[in-house]
Structure 1
Amino acid sequence: MKNVVVLLLILSGFNTTSQVLRKRTVKLMGSRFDITIVAADSLSAERHIDLVIAEVTRIENLISDWKADSQISLVNKNAGIAPVRVDPEVLALTERALHFSKITDGAFDISFAAMDRIWKFDGSMTKMPSSETIKKSVEKVGYQNIVLDRGNSTIFLKRKGMKIGFGALGEGYATDRCRDMMLAKGIKAGIVNGSGDMSTWGKQPGGRDWAVGITNPLHKDTVFAVVPLRQSAVVTSGSYEKFVVFNGKRYSHIINPSTGYPATGVSSVTVFGPSAETANGFSTSLMVLGKETGLKLIKKYPQYTYIMITDEGQVFSSSSLDMKKYSLLGREK
């Protein structure tokens, strides 16, 4: 559901420390992961990158809905039949996802995995699906039909044909876990970037902050803003590359799981905060909820800041973000 519209900027500078930076790109969770580690020497950095890969792989094997033997796949196979016992880690992640579903009134929903893919964003669609088809496409979606039993550590999907899947939320969770694991092992700086769900900590060798360049959704070859990251996570959801237009109205590839209709009105949302998992939930939800409802929601959570760009090019951002300093457009609101 998420287009990646952030670019990690590693700025060169004179390194007065003995630290080295190593980066590796791998495919994990079906997506691109860029892992950057700053350590005392190359061998240590590479060894810790290996540990990050192993941790993401462990999480993927637990929660992937396309690996037949994962715990989530077993939950989906038993939809409407019986509860399935899962690890406490999986139960806790599901519980947090359900909390997001509740606070967003279903704009975020992990049972979205069961939705019929009636919308095509490859240029093949020539007309809007009928309202009946759209309604039918989400008939198996509904977080209200997910039952958690903390005492027995089980998940039960009430209706046959239901499915849950974590998607990009799982990537955000994995990056957070890896950041915390590296800090616990004494690695004081690095980045784990799971297809745009990015957890960062510490600084680059030489003392510079990590920074991200945020693509201008109206001109995707240009950068809208460069924002420094300090002990932070950042996630961007965007729709500027995948959309359809019917009767002059632009429909995003990000679908509202409660209605089956594509999100409209917002081109991109970037969310900064302490957790990539939570930032991902917010960025996706704000795309679906739209400007007014979305901004009203995220303003209740001051630990998380945002940059929102509408389809008309209006820019809205948290008051705590100095966008006059970071923006390259000068159109912030």
Structure 2
Amino acid sequence: MLAIKTLAPKAVIFRRIVRLMGDQFEISVVGNNPGWADERIDDAIAEINRVEKLLSTFSDDSAVNEINRNAGIGPVKTNAEIFKLIDRSLQISALTHGAFDITYYAAEKDSDNTPVITTTKKAVSRVNYQSVVLDAKEQTVFLQEKGMRIGFGANSRGYAADRAKYILQMQGVSSGVINAGGDLLTWGLQPDNEPWTIATADPSQKGNSFANINISNMSVATSVDMQKYTATINNKQLNTINPKKGFPVSGIKSVSIVSPSAELADSMASPVMSIGINAGLYLINKLNQLACIIVDDHNRVYTSKDISLNN
């Protein structure tokens, strides 16, 4: 009697597009069982929603709002997850000399919602990452200046993508892609055992000269000069603004950061955009496990030392 071999179903990419954290996410997992893949994508979505709630400033009882309410008053004990995220954020602020900063100033408001300036200009000028005091032993966060706030708009999507990847890997997903509003996080290999590239992770970027860069087990975050999209307010064109000097940055169309961590890539893209081509390349070239691709307003491509483009 002949034994009949049953071939296992061929692995394919299962994708789902969903709106999360105010942006479009596309979650892709490689597998051969549609039901299993659907459940795993549900797990990733649940984790992203958890991170959004954790870092929200819209809920009165959120840990971030508790820290903000006590600005200039006293330290606030928080959970380990938020404490570590703030600590990492401050380290990136120091690394970029304040070009990346999770702090900002919010004027107090009276009963009819009119801003009331109760802090001197000198105090407002001190509102930056250096005014955040962390106590690792007590796990407390203290914003030294009244009116100070912290927010994670610049790195929350990257952190959420990292967490979703972790959950998927724990659930046995050996290969996949998380596309968070155009920022990419990949792990494993494609179904044909080829590495993920920017083009295969995000087909909309196939036309880019750097689309075939191998990004398996890496993240790519891109910051784009909004002038490209001709956004206008009061008939004035919007540019990327240098946070230190307050006027538009010229010469850079986009910056893409390649890193093992989506949170780190997300955090570094805008600072490199703000400090310019030469300073940005110099900074990235000093750091381990980071690379960047810069496109100027003449579509010339500049890369850090660890990237080689073959056109």
Q: Does 1:47 align with 2:47?
A: no
The alignment's C-alpha RMSD in Å is: 2.8
Tell me if structure 1 keeps the 8 A contact 2:284–2:304: no
Q: Match for residue 272 of structure 1?
A: 258
Q: Determine the C-alpha separation between the residues in 1 that align with 2:132 and 2:35.
A: 45
Tell me if structure 2 keeps the 8 A contact 1:192–1:198: yes
Q: Match for residue 117 of structure 2?
A: none
Alignment of 1:85-100 (within 5 A): 85-100=77-92
Of 165, 182, 185, the residue aligned with 1:199 is: 185
Q: Match for residue 295 of structure 1?
A: 281
**Larger Rg over CA atoms:** 2
Deviation at 1:233, TM superposition (A): 0.7
- The TM-score with structure 1 as length reference comes to 0.76
Q: Determine the C-alpha separation between the residues in 2 that align with 1:49 and 1:171.
A: 17
Q: Match for residue 284 of structure 1?
A: 270
Structure 2 alignment gaps of length 5 or more: 1-7, 108-120
Tell me if structure 2 keeps the 8 A contact 1:84–1:155: yes
Q: Match for residue 146 of structure 1?
A: 132
Counterpart of 2:24 in 1: which secondary structure? strand
Alignment of 1:11-90 (within 5 A): 18-90=10-82
Alignment of 1:1-333 (within 5 A): 18-112=10-104, 114=106, 139=125, 141-213=127-199, 223-227=208-212, 228-239=214-225, 240-241=228-229, 252=239, 254-325=240-311
Task: Kindly provide the CA deviation profile for residues 151-193 of structure 1, in whole angstroms up to 9, marking residues without a partner as x.
Answer: 1211111112111111131111111122122222221111112
Deviation at 1:66, TM superposition (A): 3.1
Counterpart of 2:310 in 1: which secondary structure? helix
Q: Determine the C-alpha separation between the residues in 1 that align with 2:59 and 2:178.
A: 23
Q: Determine the C-alpha separation between the residues in 2 that align with 1:33 and 1:311.
A: 28
Structure 2 CA distance for partners of 1:322 and 1:296, relative to 1, 3 Å:
closer
Task: Kindly provide the CA deviation profile for residues 180-209 of structure 1, in whole angstroms up to 9, marking residues without a partner as x.
Answer: 222222211111122233211112222233
Task: Kindly provide the CA deviation profile for residues 263-287 of structure 1, in whole angstroms up to 9, marking residues without a partner as x.
Answer: 3332110111211111122211101
Structure 2 CA distance for partners of 1:170 and 1:98, relative to 1, 3 Å:
same
Tell me if structure 2 keeps the 8 A contact 1:112–1:141: yes
Tell me if structure 2 keeps the 8 A contact 1:17–1:205: no
Task: Kindly provide the CA deviation profile for residues 89-118 of structure 1, in whole angstroms up to 9, marking residues without a partner as x.
Answer: 111010010001111111110114759xxx
- Paired residues, number: 281
- The TM-score with structure 2 as length reference comes to 0.81
Q: What letter matches 1:36 in structure 2? A: S
Q: Determine the C-alpha separation between the residues in 2 that align with 1:17 and 1:105.
A: 52
Q: Determine the C-alpha separation between the residues in 2 that align with 1:194 and 1:90.
A: 21
Q: What letter matches 2:83 in structure 1? A: L
Tell me if structure 2 keeps the 8 A contact 1:148–1:154: yes
**Percent identity over paired residues:** 37
Counterpart of 2:173 in 1: which secondary structure? coil
Q: Determine the C-alpha separation between the residues in 2 that align with 1:114 and 1:202.
A: 43
